[in-house]
Structure 1
């Protein structure tokens, strides 16, 4: 089941890609589900059965999922509702006012966490639109000033689907490579190359999910990989499986 996405108001679009909601009825026994890497960081609110990651810890609501280098396995039981804020990785830590970290899952303290009780009431009433509106209003009041260099660099990365060399990303942002890399490390905790690699992987993953019969060699060429082997190595690095195996699984009814 795919989540329902909600587009943010224009004033937040440099910071937030979208809000999304997912509902699952998992039954009385704990069930696990896999979250694949992509080019975003997400602030996750969850409601219902307790949620844990990789079987190690019960997670509070909300928690932060940063850029992932490999899949993470979550588990929960009963009714589970997730309401999330999908952020650009170069904006999320500034938005929260916390230092960047490479941890895949991070707990944080921020006034947005105080919205959980209000959001839970709207979720229980099945008024997802009002829950999203509450998040929007909070973020509009707390929005941080975004570095224009990071915004320009991020736009260049997204528009090129992660295929631009770092030097060209820096040129698009009107910055030197050294300055851009320093700002990315300070804001996202990752390098430009890290983020670009995940953005490009995301495009390959989405294509194979939507069209499992896609020609992988052609996909590699369209996404700017050196060749099919390059795509396969990068895909396995982030997903733990090959593009062909992923496509076969995605194509099963």
Structure 2
């Protein structure tokens, strides 16, 4: 499966990590996705994909055309079709706010059809992106669509969240929230309220996800894993807490995860394999 990515030009890069296109036969048809510091827009131009929440009370969903997905705080599974043709957006944790026009907590741990957010727009966008001559052209078309939809002025409180979120991103979540609030000249309660509005979760939860992302991306399955050292690097000072969080985020113990990665290694230079893992 080929992966083509594009970092959008300013000012979209304040809110979006990259636009991407996935085309081809997937290496693994079921993929387990841990919580990662991003929200998503998917435009599906191929066969339907199936999305399964790790919470058994939530029914699976079939993604046949286009979906928004807010920040996730628990793992989920994607079942790809035999042939994948998907165009997507990796929003920063706060990045969907100036495009979606609704509180981010309404999209937390949820997938929502595009037309439920952008009324009667999905067919036009899919036709424009799907009719592009190449993946690069498709990404340029999607970037133009996003640029046209970007709010002229950021919603109230978003600049505060973006500034604080960038510090959490840079430090991989290893910063005290009270100190971030003090540096921004606001109360912790105000900062938390703005994060809930624009990200859908508290800044403490965002820090937790960044911390885990650093950990999971630091694991080299080809070498013996120094779990204590990796946990300490990521800011886990209690081994029991680290083990619980790892199992919560991935569904595996650290040793089970390492064994899985050794049997089914991530493809080099293929970002979709970096955090997600094959689901057995």
TM above 0.5, yes or no, is yes
Matched, 1:110 2:118: yes
Instruction: Assess if the C-alpha contact under 8 Å between 2:2 and 2:23 holds in 1.
Output: no
Please tell me whether residue 50 in structure 1 is matched to residue 60 in structure 2: no
Q: Which runs of 5+ in 2 are unaligned?
A: 53-58, 266-280
* TM-score (norm. length: structure 2): 0.80
- Indicate which of 100, 106, 115 corresponds to 1:96: 100
Q: Aligned partners of 1:212 and 1:66: how far apart in 2?
A: 34
DSSP-derived class of the 1:13 partner: helix
CA distance in 2, matches of 1:158, 1:78: 35
Distance in structure 2 (CA, Å) of the matches to 1:177 and 1:5: 36
Q: Structure 1, residues 124-158: CA drift from partner, whole Å, max 9, x if none?
A: x4x11011111111222221233221111111110
Aligned partner of 2:77 among 47, 52, 73: 73
Cα distance change of structure 1 residues 66 and 209 upon mapping to structure 2, 3 Å threshold:
farther
Q: Is the 8 A contact 1:217 1:227 kept in 2?
A: no
Q: What is the Cα deviation at residue 12 of structure 1?
A: 1.0
Deviation at 1:187, TM superposition (A): 1.3
2:50·2:62 contact (CA, 8 Å) conserved in 1?
A: yes
Gaps of 5+ in 1: none
1:137 matched residue in structure 2: 144
Q: CA RMSD in A?
A: 2.4
Per the alignment, in what secondary structure is the counterpart of residue 213 of structure 2?
Answer: helix
| Aligned-partner Cα distance in 1 for 2:223–2:185 | 39
Distance 2:49 2:165 in 1: 31
Aligned counterparts of 1:26 and 1:155: Cα–Cα separation in 2: 33
Counterpart contact for 1:156–1:172, Cα < 8 Å: no
Shift of 1:235: 1.4
Could you say if the C-alpha distance between residues 95 and 212 of structure 1 is closer, same or farther in structure 2, counting changes exceeding 3 Å?
Answer: farther
Tell me the secondary structure at the aligned position of residue 252 of structure 2: coil
Aligned residue for 2:131, secondary structure, equals: helix
Residues 211-246 of structure 1: per-residue CA shift (max 9 Å, x gap): 653311111111111133322221111111122221
| TM-score when normalising by structure 1 | 0.88
Q: 1:84 aligns with which of 88, 93, 96?
A: 88
Equivalences for residues 4-23 of structure 1 within 5 A = 4-23=4-23
Number of matched pairs: 248
Instruction: Give 1:202's aligned residue.
Output: 213
Q: Partners of 1:40 and 1:209 in 2: how far apart?
A: 23
Partner Cα distance (2:169, 2:2) in 1: 22
Could you tell me how far 1:33 is from its partner in structure 2? 2.6
Deviation of 1:31 after TM superposition, in Å, equals 4.0
> Which residue in the other structure is 1:251 paired with?
262
Structure 1 partner of 2:237: 226
Q: Distance in 1 between matches of 2:92 and 2:15?
A: 6
Q: 1:63 to 1:164 in 2, by over 3 A?
A: same
